[in-house]
Amino acid sequence: MTIIDHQTIEFSNRKLMLVLALSALMVLFGIWLAAGDFSNERRLVFVVAPLIGWATVLLGGLGCAAMFWQLAFGSKTALVLTKTGFTIPRYSRDEIPWGLVEEIDFATMHRNRFVVVKLASGAVAKIRRSGLAVWLERFAPPGLHLNAHAFGLSHDQLYATLHDHWLAAKAAPIGPAGSKPSAGE
């Protein structure tokens, strides 16, 4: 595969709209559940159904707001790959050099498949991360977990793209000041 100097992978608007529609359905279901007449049901259902309904409205509403914001105002850039490294704008504005990557592999968590970029120990501390990224790291195994569904790619395509860039960067040493060594060096 030919490695492109600068490759940008964007979020899929179609998939963002699908999540927006599902969030809206979740809100409607929550309203039905919260406003439903459960007076003829057992006491537990009478008390619990509205609480679950309002929680569903809250979570679905947050999903709607987040997806609407992403579609209307958010950056479409999900991942930027260069010969020297990669950037995940939601994770960090800093470029993560390919030299910090130890492994790129697949992982499955709760029946969701991810492409995982494992960084060298101590490398995460060198990268300025967003507050959300720091918080989420508490709940996930080590590494950057990329779910290809949001990108409009298959997991295999995302893996191949990342892996090819990483291997190309390992094969092409970088000389002083980021220049490739000439044939005489």
Are residues 89 and 49 part of one domain? no
Asked if the structure places residue 21 within a domain, the reply is: yes
Are residues 160 and 118 part of one domain? yes
Are residues 83 and 67 part of one domain? no
At 101, is the secondary structure helix, strand, or coil?
strand
Residue keyed to tokens 């790619």:
153
Which tens digits make up the pLDDT trace of 166-176?
A: 888 887 765 54
Are residues 60 and 81 part of one domain? no
Give me the pLDDT at residue 120, please: 82
Give me the pLDDT at residue 181, please: 44
Asked if the structure places residue 8 within a domain, the reply is: no
Asked if the structure places residue 139 within a domain, the reply is: yes
Could you tell me which of 11, 2, 161 has the C-alpha nearest to residue 86? 161
Identify the top-confidence range among 20-29, 64-73, 78-87, 136-145: 20-29
Are residues 167 and 81 part of one domain? yes
Asked if the structure places residue 101 within a domain, the reply is: yes
Are residues 91 and 151 part of one domain? yes
Given 42, 72, 102, the domain boundary residue is: 72
Are residues 151 and 120 part of one domain? yes
Are residues 88 and 50 part of one domain? no
Are residues 162 and 93 part of one domain? yes
Are residues 83 and 38 part of one domain? no
Number of domains present in the structure of the chain: 2
Residue range of the domain that includes 124: 77-172
Please answer whether residues 49 and 23 qualify as being in contact, where contact means their C-beta atoms are separated by less than 8 angstroms: no
Q: How far apart are CA 20 and CA 14, in angstroms?
A: 10
Are residues 147 and 115 part of one domain? yes
Which tens digits make up the pLDDT trace of 49-102?
A: 888 999 999 999 999 998 898 888 877 888 888 888 888 887 777 888 888 888
Q: How far apart are CA 106 and CA 113, in angstroms?
A: 7
Q: How far apart are CA 185 and CA 182, in angstroms?
A: 6
Asked if the structure places residue 42 within a domain, the reply is: yes
Are residues 161 and 118 part of one domain? yes
